[in-house]
Structure 1
Amino acid sequence: MRTTLATLLAAVLCVEQAYAFMCYVCQEQESNKNCLTISMCTKEDKYCVTVRNNIGTKPNKLVYSKMCSPTCPATSQQQNQTYQKVSCCEKPLCNVNGVSNKQNSYGVMTLGVLASITCIFTSGL
């Protein structure tokens, strides 16, 4: 039983690597809800990038852009009345939220694996 559990866990953790690298993409959308188009990245691309511009002409006006990228651009910069926040992550479709965070991705994955193992042991399999 332990061998089956270990094999199942290894398979679940390796499945993500079998798929092609994909990211959410959009250009200058006023809502993150409009940035849910999935795109296959090139083999050179290693990052999903989210760029959030806070435009000073209107209070709290945000504009989102998402893309695949071979590198992680500079994290943030300010020009005139515009503040730009750039977030990068290295997992397929990890830029679903308006701002990505690598530590949150690892935490959620670890929590999911622990919950699965707990469920298996409590059900008596």
Structure 2
Amino acid sequence: MKTTLVTLLAAVLCVEQAYPLICYVCQEEELNKNCLTISTCAKEDKYCMTVRTNVGTKPNKPKYVISKMCSPTCPVTSQQQNQTYQRISCCEKPLCNVNGASSQQRSYAVMSLSVLASITYIFACGL
């Protein structure tokens, strides 16, 4: 019975997402409340991505615009080009970029802890 449960748990964790990802999308909005349009991503898209770009010219009064989109990859978390600074974040759950996506590393940590807790519970209960 233990072997069956462990095998089933491993199979569930290895199955790819069977439905397309959905994310919030927008282009260069000044307010997050204007970035709540929902879009179904392409089959190859694995991430919901949020890009926060500093477009302000005064150091004491930064101005930001927000863009949200589906993406097949997660680029580096931040980059600077000339006077523009971008903070990029990605996540892998449906509509996870509502307030700016969390880092994908946090998703893996939570998933790993969940799997560890499940396996510990299975063996502790003697199933």
What is the TM-score normalised by the length of structure 2?
0.65
Mark the CA change 1:88 to 1:123 in structure 2 (over 3 Å): closer, same or farther: same
Q: Does 2:67 align with 1:65? A: yes
Mark the CA change 1:71 to 1:5 in structure 2 (over 3 Å): closer, same or farther: closer
What is the TM-score normalised by the length of structure 1?
0.66
**Sequence identity, in percent?**
66
Q: Structure 1: 5+ residue runs without aligned partners?
A: none
2:79 alignment counterpart:
76
8 Å contact kept, 2:51–2:88: yes
Deviation at 1:37, TM superposition (A): 4.9
Mark the CA change 1:73 to 1:104 in structure 2 (over 3 Å): closer, same or farther: closer
8 Å contact kept, 2:50–2:67: yes
2:8 alignment counterpart:
8
8 Å contact kept, 2:2–2:122: no
SS at match of 1:65: strand
66-75 or 103-112, which deviates more: 66-75
CA–CA distance in structure 1, aligned partners of residues 86 and 20 of structure 2: 29
Query: Aligned residues, how many?
Result: 122
Mark the CA change 1:60 to 1:19 in structure 2 (over 3 Å): closer, same or farther: same
8 Å contact kept, 2:22–2:41: yes
CA–CA distance in structure 2, aligned partners of residues 83 and 40 of structure 1: 28
